Amino acid sequence: MSSEQLKIPKATAKRLPLYYRFIQNLYQSGKQRVSSAELSEAVKVDSATIRRDFSYFGALGKKGYGYNVQYLLSFFRKTLNQDEMTKVALVGVGNLGTALLHYNFTKNNNTKIVTAFDVSEDKIGKNYGDVEVLPMDQLEQVLREEEIQVVILTVPAQVAQVITDRILKTNIKGILNFTPARLTVPSTVRVHHIDLAVELQSFVYFLNHYSNDEEDMEEEE
């Protein structure tokens, strides 16, 4: 069961990994059940929103009892496909790309950058966080052979679409785009744009114009 099949709101989908991480911690600490109020305090999401998020998936808990931690852990593991490894490739080993390679999703064991690509002779053949940087002329071949599903794009904006066109010749499902460029892709490929400058500007705007409650309402729309 995937969140996309259920047609849940995007804001809810974004919170699922947050819930899952906290539930993992509860399970490891030996806790057997948790209330929406306890979840709310831990993940900083109000109880009503948590109950609404969970309601999209049916009866996950009982009124007056709360939620069974082991059941929630099993449910979200399956929902978030935690039993399957998602292989990721990174294209563009600049400052941001290097940081991502060293971090390599250490808190998310089912997602891993397994290969990286760059045009710089100074970087090709070197390892960053145990990931070897390969030349760009191997891009399509390696993406196919490694059955890569997701590509992180951290290249200059002016070459982003050209590289994307090459990536689209493989079987990838999604692109995490850290460039300012807006990519053209078919409907079968999902693109998530992360423009850090825009995110910062938006954050400053919300700081100056909205309270926390108003911001939460905006997210739910």
C-alpha–C-alpha distance, residues 121 and 54, integer Å: 49
Length of the chain: 221
Q: Is the pLDDT of residue 136 over 70?
A: yes
Superfamily per CATH, domain 86-197: NAD(P)-binding Rossmann-like Domain (3.40.50.720)
Q: What is the pLDDT of residue 109?
A: 64
* In the chain, ranges of CATH 3.40.50.720 domains: 86-197
Cα separation, 79 vs 83, whole angstroms: 10
CATH 1.10.10.10 occupies which residues in the chain? 3-78
**Whole-model pTM above 0.75?**
no
Give the CA-trace dihedral at 197, 198, 201, 202, to 10 degrees. -150
For domain 3-78, give the CATH number: 1.10.10.10
> Could you read off the pLDDT of 51-93 as tens digits, one per residue?
888 888 876 766 667 788 888 888 888 887 766 778 999 999 9
Q: What's the chain's average pLDDT?
A: 85
Which residue type sits at 140? E
pLDDT tier for residue 157 given thresholds of 50, 70 and 90 = very high
Q: At CA 130, angle to CA 129 and CA 136, rounded to 5?
A: 95
State how far the Cα of 128 lies from the Cα of 93, in Å rounded to an integer: 9
Give per-residue pLDDT as tens, 22-32: 898 888 888 88
